Amino acid sequence: MARGGRDQLDRSAMHLLHRAGQCAADIFASEARASGLTPRQYAVLMVVADEEGLTQTDLVQRTGIDRSTLADIVARLLSRGLIQRRRSKEDARAYAIKLSPQGARALREAQPGATATDQRLLASLPPAKRQEFLDTLNQIVAAARRS
């Protein structure tokens, strides 16, 4: 690839965010290997643990994971016995998701790995810039949600 192409990628927010996400997923896989969870599965379990009874639509809104991917994640978590679902009282067509005892255990086991992942990712930044970086990422996500 010509040097100009690499320079363009080095200035592409889209590309760099994608690469940073790949790095984060690789670090999580290493740090939280024993839990057997992926970063997205971990995120779903975190949200379900925080707010029991959410529907898959709610989970899409809370996590930003697209509907079809989330359906696959829910199916995998169900098959592993990490979550349970029942018909929602508000909408009989929807399922309310609940963390199972095994799911709570998997979440507890993955937590140190998730914390270590965040620490490793942020370690490359000066301590004074870490919160600013997180705030900037949150601004990007919030702006994308609004558009």
pLDDT in tens, 83-142: 999 887 877 788 889 999 999 999 999 999 999 999 999 999 999 999 999 999 999 999
Residue 3 in domain: no
Sign, CA torsion 33/65/55/85: negative
Total domains, the chain: 1
Residue 2, in any domain of the structure: no
| pTM as predicted | 0.87
CATH of the domain at 13: 1.10.10.10
The answer to the question of residue 104 being in a domain is yes
Q: What phi and psi values does residue 142 have, to the nearest 5 degrees? A: -65, -40
> The domain containing residue 69 runs over which residues?
8-146
Residue type, 39: P
Residue 97 lies in a domain: yes
